């Protein structure tokens, strides 16, 4: 597709348009995962508050915001079909300012990451590499829903969790923390699949092979539900094996509630995917926090 920026409606950058480009609403998942990592470490907060705050800023307003800016720049032609009111296709961020902002935020993210030591910097660098690889050619992982959703799941759930656990304990996370973080990252693949339902038409026209485009809405929704459920059942089994019965019971109840919601979702997946993202996904992330407390108890 021709690399032509949309004709600007203005030549001046609008601060509110920049904030919209960075999408604060999307910062919640990595911030929550970072918080779960903090909890799972079992380390006291008191002497580490500056580090924790820096980590939260890095996870959400920096690295995640960078990924949003990168994605919107390289998706501006797709967004012109799906969501023409977004800052770049609407012209509220004119010229090549979208790309410039993405590059500035990348540099600022790396600068903040230097405050978090080797683990924090390495995780931020990997997250930024994946953010650019997800959206930017020639790699453009989002062209394939299998790879793209895996990268986003890792960046949104696994990396922040592992990073927080590492900087709180000042050492490599335990294998239990690594395993739980990776399982929730795997489950997030399903969440990302449901998120792709909002752009099926534009993705199909633009040649973006999201899973809803490749598999169809019904099969993609079933796959998303199976992926989320299996990851959580694996977590549940581990909690039982690790003798955390109270935490296992809560996670089991959260899974059961999700299964009820999934049953409704599968009746009309294209219509109900946004509804499930606001209901079932909330139960999913609550399970993450419960599991984090279980890990903290094991570390004590």
pLDDT digits (tens, 9 = 90+) for 225-239: 999 999 999 999 999
Phi-psi domain of 243 (left: phi exceeds 0; alpha: psi -120 through 50; beta: other): left
C-alpha dist (Å) from residue 202 to 57, 75, 83, 208? 32, 10, 9, 8
What would the two tokens of residue 142 be? 């989002």
Evaluate whether 126 touches 159 at the Cβ level (below 8 Å).
yes
Q: Is the peptide bond before 138 cis (omega within 30 degrees of 0)?
A: yes
What pLDDT is recorded for position 171? 82
User: In angstroms, rounded to a whole number, what is the distance separating the alpha carbons of residues 259 and 125?
Assistant: 36
Please state the pTM of the whole predicted model: 0.91
What would the two tokens of residue 31 be? 């911030």
Radius of gyration of the chain (CA): 19
User: In angstroms, rounded to a whole number, what is the distance separating the alpha carbons of residues 183 and 7?
Assistant: 44
Q: What is the dihedral of CA 106, 110, 115, 119, to 10 degrees?
A: 120
Which one, of 78, 69, 71, lies nearest residue 13 by Cα?
Answer: 69
User: In angstroms, rounded to a whole number, what is the distance separating the alpha carbons of residues 278 and 102?
Assistant: 28
What pLDDT is recorded for position 10? 53
What pLDDT is recorded for position 3? 47
User: In angstroms, rounded to a whole number, what is the distance separating the alpha carbons of residues 190 and 231?
Assistant: 10
Evaluate whether 155 touches 67 at the Cβ level (below 8 Å).
yes
Spatial neighbors of 277 by CB under 8 A, at least 6 apart, are 191, 194, 195
C-alpha dist (Å) from residue 32 to 135, 212, 280? 23, 27, 16
What pLDDT is recorded for position 146? 96
Residues of the chain with pLDDT under 70: 1-11, 300
What pLDDT is recorded for position 271? 95
Residue 125 half-sphere exposure, CB side, CA atoms within 13 Å?
9
Which one, of 27, 31, 29, lies nearest residue 53 by Cα?
Answer: 31
- Report CA torsion sign: 28, 34, 38, 40: positive
What pLDDT is recorded for position 124? 92
């Amino acid at each position: 597709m021709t690399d032509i920026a949309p004709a600007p409606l203005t030549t001046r950058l609008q601060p509110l348009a920049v904030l919209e480009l960075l999408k604060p609403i999307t910062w919640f998942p990595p911030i929550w995962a970072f918080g779960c990592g903090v909890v799972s470490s079992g380390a006291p907060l008191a002497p580490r508050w500056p580090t924790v705050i820096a980590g939260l800023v890095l996870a959400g307003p920096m690295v995640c915001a960078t990924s949003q800016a990168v994605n919107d720049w390289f998706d501006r032609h797709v967004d012109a079909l799906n969501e023409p009111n977004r800052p770049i296709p609407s012209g509220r961020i004119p010229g090549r300012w979208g790309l410039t902002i993405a590059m500035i935020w990348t540099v600022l993210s790396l600068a903040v990451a230097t405050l978090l030591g080797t683990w924090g910097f390495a995780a931020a660098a990997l997250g930024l590499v994946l953010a650019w690889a997800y959206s930017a050619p020639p790699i453009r992982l989002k062209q394939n829903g299998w790879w793209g959703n895996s990268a986003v799941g890792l960046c949104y759930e696994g990396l922040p969790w592992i990073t927080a656990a590492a900087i709180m304990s000042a050492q490599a996370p335990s294998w239990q923390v690594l395993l739980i973080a990776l399982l929730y990252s795997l489950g997030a693949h399903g969440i990302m699949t449901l998120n792709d339902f909002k752009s099926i038409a534009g993705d199909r026209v633009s040649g973006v092979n999201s899973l809803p485009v490749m598999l169809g809405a019904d099969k993609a929704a079933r796959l998303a539900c199976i992926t989320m459920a299996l990851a959580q059942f694996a977590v549940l089994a581990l909690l039982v094996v690790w003798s955390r019965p109270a935490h296992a019971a809560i996670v089991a109840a959260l899974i059961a509630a999700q299964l009820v919601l999934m049953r409704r979702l599968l009746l009309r997946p294209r219509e109900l995917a946004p509804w499930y993202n606001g209901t079932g996904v909330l139960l999913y992330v609550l399970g993450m926090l419960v599991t984090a407390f279980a890990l903290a108890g094991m570390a004590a």
